[in-house]
A and B are shown apart, each in its own frame.
Chain A
Amino acid sequence: QSVLTQPPSASGTPGQRVTISCSGNSSNIGKNYVAWYRQLPGTAPKLLIYRNNQRPSGVPDRFSGATSGTSASLAISGLRSDDEAEYYCAAWDDSLSGPVFGTGTEVTVL
């Protein structure tokens, strides 16, 4: 059911910057805001970014979001071992009249 495409995995060493891409189309990312979430197995998803590049209170500025056309990206700078998790994007889809989600990216800290 995932409509937004992400790479299955990404990795980096501590302190590095990792960027995760999210590709959609003109019905979703091309027209609507993107959000990013982080999830560990068995836990509730946590909001990292909303409205393309806004961080909720409590999310460090190491996390940043950007969009360009029908794609979005999440950057994690100063990578830490506790950043290991699954990250996924989401956007409203005008064709569905509902939200669609990314395929998810597992981030590994080497």
Chain B
Amino acid sequence: QVQLQESGPGLVKPSQTLSLTCAVSGVSINSLGSHWYWLRQAPGKGREWIGHIFHTGSAYYNPSLRNRLTIFLDTSKNQFSLKLTSVSASDTAIYYCARNKGDAWFDPWGQGTLVTVSS
């Protein structure tokens, strides 16, 4: 059974870097065809695609975040991570990681982790 679990700081100061990790169990993150996503939902807002990474390590980012975002694999720990620089209050959201099986077919998802950007 594939399971994903997000981890990271719940509070980040404005202008700092947000780092989150998604630990994957039940499947190898570098198995052929694996696509791993980060998504988020800000309070009172809709769900938003942040970016994703293939099993090869190739990453793709939402254009609105591209210049602040890095997503990478850590195959030794079977996890993938994101770093978002220069955060502001608008980055406050619940952050989810998920496995993609094609198109907008995500299964499973992590439980989500709330990140608040505040001084």
A33 touches B104 (CB 8 A): yes
Inter-chain CB contacts under 8 Å: number: 79
B46 touches A1 (CB 8 A): yes
Kindly state the separation between the CA atoms of A98 and B38 in the bound complex, as whole angstroms. Answer: 11
**Chain A contacts for B96, CB-based, 8 A:** 44-45
Cβ-closest chain B residue relative to A56? B107
Count of B interface residues, CB-CB < 8 Å? 26
Residues of B within 8 A of A (CB): 37, 39, 45-49, 51-52, 60, 62-63, 96, 98, 101-112
Residues of A within 8 A of B (CB): 1-2, 32-35, 37, 42-47, 50-51, 56, 88, 90-92, 96-104
Assuming A35-B105, A101-B104, A102-B46, what are 18 further A-B pairs, CB within 8 angstroms?
Answer: A1-B46, A1-B48, A2-B45, A33-B103, A33-B105, A44-B108, A44-B109, A44-B110, A46-B109, A47-B105, A47-B106, A47-B107, A47-B108, A50-B101, A98-B51, A99-B106, A101-B49, A103-B46
